[in-house]
């Protein structure tokens, strides 16, 4: 089984779904006058730390793939790849969620509540954008070189026999004929 890069369309679908969800929550919060908008500052800090941790782990996998690191549990490498993919897609959805809340709050920027929501959501959107990039970079760093299995292109080349061309065959015949004519 080969792990493939996350297609760009997955990020876009998550972003659009997040935009729709965030806009829906914003409208619901405004119509019912409940406090559903915004994001605690702690969430932004934790998302940033999570992105940094996954990027550091992905760099360790990259060091192993380059040969700078001798040993690594392959389950760790696979888990880091999965976490990188999940971070990128989840933060794309959160980017849409918080971005739509920030955009809706800009229309009511005169009210202190909406000013606070707008600030929180803009910071969270920036952190989510950073995490989307960190997830994509982490996914790229987790690419392992092919092993010596059947998918390795070098192994396929070495298993084929080189075909002798016509001039090579003629040269061999001349050398053989000349060596048999020599007295000796």
More confident residue, 31 or 123: 123
Mean pLDDT of 48-59: 96
Residue range of the domain that includes 174: 152-183
d(CA 118, CA 108): 9
Count the domains in the chain: 2
More confident residue, 142 or 163: 142
In this predicted structure, the answer to whether residue 23 has a pLDDT above a threshold of 70 is yes
Domain co-membership, 79 together with 165: no
Burial 77-89 (b: 16+ CB within 10 A, else e): beebbebbbebbb
For the chain, percent of residues with pLDDT exceeding 70 = 79
Mean pLDDT of 44-69: 93
In this predicted structure, the answer to whether residue 17 has a pLDDT above a threshold of 90 is yes
pTM above 0.85, yes or no: no
Tell me whether residue 1 is in a domain: no
d(CA 118, CA 105): 5
């Amino acid at each position: 089984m080969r792990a493939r890069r996350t297609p760009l369309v997955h990020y876009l679908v998550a972003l659009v779904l997040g935009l729709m969800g965030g806009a829906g929550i914003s409208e619901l919060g405004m119509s019912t006058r409940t406090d559903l908008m915004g994001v605690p500052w702690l969430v932004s800090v934790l998302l940033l730390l999570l992105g940094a941790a996954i990027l550091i782990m992905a760099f360790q996998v990259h060091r192993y793939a380059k040969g700078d690191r001798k040993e690594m549990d392959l389950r760790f490498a696979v888990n880091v790849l999965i976490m990188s993919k999940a971070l990128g897609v989840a933060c794309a959805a959160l980017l849409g969620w918080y971005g739509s809340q920030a955009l809706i709050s800009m229309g009511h920027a005169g009210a202190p509540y909406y000013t606070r929501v707008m600030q929180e959501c803009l910071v969270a959107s920036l952190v989510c954008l950073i995490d989307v990039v960190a997830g994509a970079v982490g996914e790229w760093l987790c690419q392992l070189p092919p092993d010596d299995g059947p998918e390795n292109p070098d192994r396929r080349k070495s298993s084929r026999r080189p075909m002798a061309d016509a001039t090579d065959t003629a040269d061999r015949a001349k050398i053989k004929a000349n060596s048999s004519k020599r007295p000796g």
